[in-house]
Amino acid sequence: MSFLRVLVFIFTLFSVLSCRNEKNQTLLFVGSFTDKMSGEGIHVYDFNNKTGEVVLKFTLDSVINTSFLKLSPNGKYLYSVLESQMDYHGKVAAFEVDSINPKLKLINIQDCGGRNPAHLEIDKTGQYLINSNYSDPSLSIFKINKNGSLNKYSQIIRFKDSSIVKDRQESAHIHSSNFSPDNSFLFAQDLGADKIRGFKVVENKRDSILKEYRQIRVNPGSGPRHFTFHPNGKYGYGIAELSGKVAAYKYKDGTLEFVEDYLSYQQKQDFYRAADIHISPDGNFLYASNRGPEEDSIVIFSINQSTGKLSLVGHEKTYGEHPRNFAISPDGAFLLVANQFSDNLVIFKRDMKTGKIRKLPNSISVDNPSSIQIGTYKK
């Protein structure tokens, strides 16, 4: 092959790769509390994967407290709780995502079977959605149809329990749930009872039925809130709201074995409000958010791939109040934090090698942001 042909080949290859990159579009979905009144609940932004800059493309108006969002595994559908923290049953809404002309199209809405839906989880196949009701402690299970719509809940599991923190644990409070890496089990975080409730997934032709399997008791007064599994499927990590600690577990065949826990905050406080937890796509670093009262921060841990144990890397302030939720971009290059009380979403650049994060100058002003989802689409 001549030198000229080599140059042409390299140029052609570079052009193809560039075109491929240009054909990918990343959309950022931000859900918000609306002060229990009809208002702007979900914002959709175009997210620049190179600079972290954002452009608002769509706003969903005339909704109440769209406080938690969940994208389907294929990114075609977005699900949102509706009317959370009200004195009547909340709802779950299904939307179709138009990624070409970024916007949401309502498919349908279903009653969630209890007050204050706080979290949504979807199984690995995209067939079942699990809703966690906080105030009426329960899990409601929905079948997802091929067009993204939700059937009425096929099963609802209610709980009665309590623990030692009187003003927060007077009853069970289901805050979230997560399917296991093998999709055979579900683990629900019960903040009010200091339990991780395990269920086996038993499928039949019509529904996915959750069968109670085992309970994992955590230290009294912990208040387990959110949970995440490691990409390798061997470890799981929970954030406890009331104790401000991250707990590491070994996972195998429906069993969580406690390894060690770590303070999420930089300094000890009289009380804690730890919130969210995520792992970088490469599995090397774990992040958790702390919501005051004296520290609004993201804690960064490195993960020992052999043992699952954590080592502290450091803390970074969130440049806002009450970081209720955060997300890591699909390529792992950015971390975005929703500061609910200061009405801003802050964008950080991630250092892939060290795990540390650096605030970028661009940020988003949005009322009461409480949930973030990010999806990448082909144009």
CATH number of the domain that residue 290 is part of? 2.130.10.10
Give me the residues paired with residue 212 across strands: 199
Q: Is 135 inside a domain boundary?
A: no
Spans of the chain below 70 pLDDT: 1-22, 205-206
Give the span between the Cα atoms of 150 and 72, in whole angstroms.
12
For tokens 């990159």, the residue is 21
* Structural domain contains residue 115: no
How many domains does the chain contain in total? 1
pLDDT, residue 4, reads 44
State the pLDDT at residue 266: 97
| Residue 134: inside a domain | no
Question: Tens of pLDDT along 344-362?
Answer: 999 999 999 999 999 999 8
CA nearest to 119, candidates 130, 108, 127: 130
**Position 303 in a domain:** yes
Q: Is residue 239 part of a domain?
A: yes
In terms of residue numbers, what domain contains 198?
Answer: 170-317
pLDDT the model gives residue 246: 98
CA angle (327, 325, 299) in 5-degree steps? 75
Residue 149 domain-assigned (yes or no) = no
**215-256: per-residue pLDDT in tens?**
999 999 999 999 999 999 999 999 999 999 999 999 999 999
Please check whether residue 86 lies inside any domain of the structure: no
Contact between 152 and 91 under an 8 Å Cβ cutoff? The reply is: no
Is residue 306 assigned to a domain? yes
Structure tokens at 36: 């229990």
Helices then strands (H, E): number in the chain?
1, 28
Interatomic CA distance for residues 81 and 89, integer angstroms: 11
SS3 140: strand
Name the pTM for this structure.
0.93
